Amino acid sequence: NTKAFIFDLDGVIVDTAKYHYLAWQKIANALNIDFTHEHNELLKGVSRVRSLDIILELGNIQASQEDKDKWLIQKNEDYLTYLVDMDQSEILPGVLTILQFLKEKNQAIALGSASKNARPILEKTGIISYFDVIVDGNDVTNAKPDPEVFLKAARLLNINPEDAIVFEDSVAGVQAANIGKMTSVGIGSKTVLHEAKYIFEDFTLIDESFINDLISQ
Ligand code: G6P
Ligand code: MG
C-alpha cells in the first residue's frame, strides 16, 4: 500500500512562520497598519502577493502596482536575511523521525508549499533528498485554499487524491486538502485548525501506529 504524504513547509517542517510574520510586520508598520498575530493567521499558507493584498485591505490602503512590487521585494529581502544561518537545527521536533519512518515504509513523500523559497530551505536544512516530488510557489497559479498545489503533487506521484495525506499548519492549507478530497492533518492549535480531520500540536505527538493506520486505510 503506497500513500502520498504531502508536507507543507513553513510552520510544518521548519519554524519559518515567525520570520514571515516579522518581515510582514515591518511592511505593515511602515504603512501604519495595525498587524497582530491573529491577522497573521490569515496569511499562513497564502502566497506572497495575496498576503500583501490582505495586509493592505486591513489598512484600507489602495496602492499602485509599482508600490506593491517594491514592498514585495522588501518583504522577501528582509525574510531572506533570517534564512542566511539556517541549518538542520531549525527543523521542527519530530519531523525527521516521521520522514525516516515513511521512507522505511516505502511511502511517497512530497512537499506542497506556497513558498518560492522552498528549495533553498530544504537544502539548507539537509532534508531535500527525502522528497520524491517538490511542488512550490513557482509551480502553481492558484493559492491555497485552492487545492492545486496538493493535487499537482499527488498527480506527479501517480497517487489518487483520496490516497494522499496532507500535513498543514494553516487554515487555508487544511481547507485546500479538504477541498482536494485528501486526508488533512493539522499541525498546531485545535481551535485554529478545527476543520482538519486530525489535529496534533506537533509531530512528536504522532506515533507509528497512527501512520500505519493511514497507510493501511
Ligand atoms: C507559505 C507561508 C506564507 C508565505 C508563503 C509564500 O505558505 O505560510 O506565510 O507568504 O508561503 O512564501 P514566499 O517564501 O514565497 O514568500
Ligand atoms: Mg504553513
Helix and strand counts by DSSP (H, E) for the chain: 9, 6
pLDDT at 196 over 90: yes
Round to whole Å and give the CA distance between 38 and 62: 22
pLDDT band at 95 (very low <50, low <70, confident <90, very high): very high
Is 85 part of the annotated catalytic residue set? no
Q: Is 71 annotated as a binding residue?
A: no
Q: Is the distance from the beta carbon of residue 120 to the nearest atom of ligand 1 less than 6 Å? A: no
Rounded distance from Cα 204 to ligand 1 centre (Å): 24
Tell which residue, 90, 96, 107, has the closest CA to residue 212. 107
Q: Is 51 annotated as a binding residue?
A: yes
Q: Is the distance from the beta carbon of residue 16 to the nearest atom of ligand 1 less than 6 Å? A: no
Is 8 part of the annotated catalytic residue set? yes
118 CA: nearest ligand 1 atom: 14
CA 135 to chain centre: 11
Say yes or no: ipTM exceeds 0.90.
yes
Q: Residues 131-174: pLDDT tens digits?
A: 999 999 999 999 899 999 999 999 999 999 999 999 999 999 99
* Strand order across the beta sheet in which 108-112 lies: 133-135, 108-112, 4-7, 164-168, 183-187, 198-200
Residue 165, classed as helix, strand or coil, is: strand
User: Largest alpha-carbon pair distance within the chain?
Assistant: 53
Residue 1: what pLDDT? 86
7 forms beta bridges with 111, 167
Predicted TM-score (pTM) of this structure? 0.95
Round to whole Å and give the CA distance between 30 and 33: 8
Q: Is the distance from the beta carbon of residue 43 to the nearest atom of ligand 1 less than 6 Å? A: yes
Q: Residues 48-82: pLDDT tens digits?
A: 999 999 999 999 999 999 999 999 999 999 999 99
**Average pLDDT estimate for 28-41:** 93
**Average pLDDT estimate for 5-13:** 97
